[in-house]
């Protein structure tokens, strides 16, 4: 058995070395390192793949979120509602822009923002909602968009973990994650479902005016050379990263299928075990999601109940199985984001999840013997009590 890794980027590279290398070489040969043709090519390929009018590449997923909020013209004092159970980048940019983050609880099945909790958090100052499509599947976008329409709010999808997934509406229609809200952000961090070999990110929108504003913001607020109409930033996807992404994008569906296949094997081994709750997938697709793209498993995250999660983590590490706890501390308890407005009792689900969740190795190169070893080690530990 090959050594098990949380993410196997080296193994993945070895199978696409030729296309990636020649794509990178092209950039070097042309010395078109900044805003070269590869960036434009990738942008257009991604627009076509997602079925979205505008993709604006930028330097990373955190910038993408910040720039989306700047593009919407959000102002200090505006309240922005987001999930308590997510990576800090989401709340960080809200705070950095002088906006007021309003953290709310998530649902215990899918780990995504709880729509009822959003409803309770809306005030006259609320201007936007940032649903995070956590671990590879969309938040409840149909209800969130309805709520946003009713209250005249912007919806910014944090799609760093669900690129390539689809959201299924209750009537059976579907849309790619990141194309439903007013604007969306994504990250091409190496370990994401579509990752480059450094930092990268992008903003998506179907709104022409917003896209125009954002294209200026990423380039120092410049719409005409040396005319700075708004305060902008410098946030570029460099051409070498675009070359990697352009070579990998045609593989994205295949990669997501490989993740789903690994998830199905995990599920088959874990289903019905009294100490394990397997991840719940599905929105309006209403199938058992065997042949569906509603979940692209950025992480394969189970909940452990009636057993010691932390002891399991230690045991797996001793057996050479990497794993992760995403996320170990709720954002409302982080020093940087604590606030007297929060009542700990309002975060019942997040407070429970942080003690239950464990994410197992998930990547495109997992082999059956590795999965069998992982599942039998987890089950062996739990059955020993």
Q: Give the footprint of ligand PLP on this chain (CB under 6 A).
A: 60-62, 86-87, 89-90, 132, 158, 160-161, 187, 189, 199, 201
Show the tokens assigned to 249: 């994008």
Q: Measured from the CB atom, is 132 or 285 closer to ligand PLP?
A: 132
329-363: b (≥16 Cβ within 10 Å) or e = ebbbbeeebeeeebeeebbebbbebbebbbbbbbb
Nearer to ligand PLP, 132 or 296 (CB): 132
> Residue 86 CB, nearest distance to ligand PLP (Å)?
5
Min separation Cβ 60 and ligand PLP, Å: 4
CB nearer to ligand PLP: give 111 or 266: 111
Cβ closest to ligand PLP, residue 105 vs residue 158:
158
Helices marked H in 141-251 — which ranges? 141-151, 208-217, 239-248
Which of 106, 111, 257, 112 has the alpha carbon at shortest distance from 193?
257
What is the Cα–Cα distance from 151 to 126, expressed in whole angstroms?
Answer: 9
Least gap, CB of 151 to ligand PLP (angstroms): 24
**CB distance 60 to 201 below 8 Å:** yes
CB of residue 148 to ligand PLP, shortest distance in Å: 19
> Closer CB to ligand PLP, residue 59 or residue 269?
59
Provide, rounded to whole angstroms, the least separation between the CB of residue 177 and ligand PLP. 12
- Report, in Å, the least distance between residue 27 CB and ligand PLP: 20
Whole-angstrom distance, CA of residue 325 vs CA of residue 35: 37
- Helix (H), strand (E) at residue 301: strand 300-304
**What DSSP string describes 78-119?**
-EEEEESSS-THHHHHHHHTT-EEEEE-B-TTT-SBPHHHHH
Residue nearer to ligand PLP on the CB measure, 160 or 374: 160
């Amino acid at each position: 058995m090959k050594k098990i890794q949380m993410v196997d980027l080296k193994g993945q590279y070895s199978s696409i070395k030729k296309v990636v290398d020649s794509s990178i070489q092209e950039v070097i040969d042309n010395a078109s390192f900044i805003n070269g043709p590869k960036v434009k090519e990738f942008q257009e390929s991604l627009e076509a793949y997602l079925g979205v009018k505008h993709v604006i590449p930028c330097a990373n997923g955190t910038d993408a979120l910040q720039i989306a909020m700047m593009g919407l013209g959000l102002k200090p004092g505006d309240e922005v509602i987001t999930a308590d159970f997510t990576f800090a980048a989401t709340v960080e940019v809200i705070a950095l822009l002088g906006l007021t983050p309003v953290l709310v609880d998530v649902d215990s099945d899918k780990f995504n923002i709880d729509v009822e909790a959003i409803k309770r958090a809306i005030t006259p100052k609320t201007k936007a909602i940032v649903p995070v499509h956590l671990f590879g599947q969309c938040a409840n976008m149909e209800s969130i968009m309805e709520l946003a329409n009713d209250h005249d709010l912007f919806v910014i999808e944090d799609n760093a973990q669900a690129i390539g997934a689809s959201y299924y509406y209750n009537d059976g229609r579907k849309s790619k994650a990141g194309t439903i809200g007013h604007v969306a952000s994504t990250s091409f961090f190496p370990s994401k479902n579509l990752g480059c070999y450094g930092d990268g990110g992008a903003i998506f929108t179907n709104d022409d005016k917003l896209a125009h504003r954002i294209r200026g913001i990423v380039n120092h607020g410049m719409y005409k050379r040396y005319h700075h109409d708004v305060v902008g930033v410098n946030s570029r996807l460099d051409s070498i990263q675009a070359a990697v992404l352009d070579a990998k994008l045609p593989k994205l569906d295949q990669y997501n299928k490989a993740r789903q296949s690994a998830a199905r094997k995990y599920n088959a081994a874990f289903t019905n075990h009294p100490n394990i709750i397997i991840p719940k997938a599905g929105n309006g697709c209403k199938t058992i999601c065997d042949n569906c793209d509603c979940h692209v498993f950025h992480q394969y995250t189970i909940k452990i109940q009636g057993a010691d999660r932390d002891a399991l983590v230690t045991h797996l590490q001793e057996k050479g199985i990497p794993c992760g706890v995403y996320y170990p501390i709720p954002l409302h308890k982080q020093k940087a984001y604590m606030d007297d407005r929060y009542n700990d009792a309002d975060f019942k689900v997040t407070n429970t999840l942080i003690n239950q969740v464990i994410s197992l190795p998930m990547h495109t190169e997992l082999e059956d013997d590795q999965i069998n070893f992982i599942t039998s080690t987890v089950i062996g530990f739990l059955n020993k009590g």
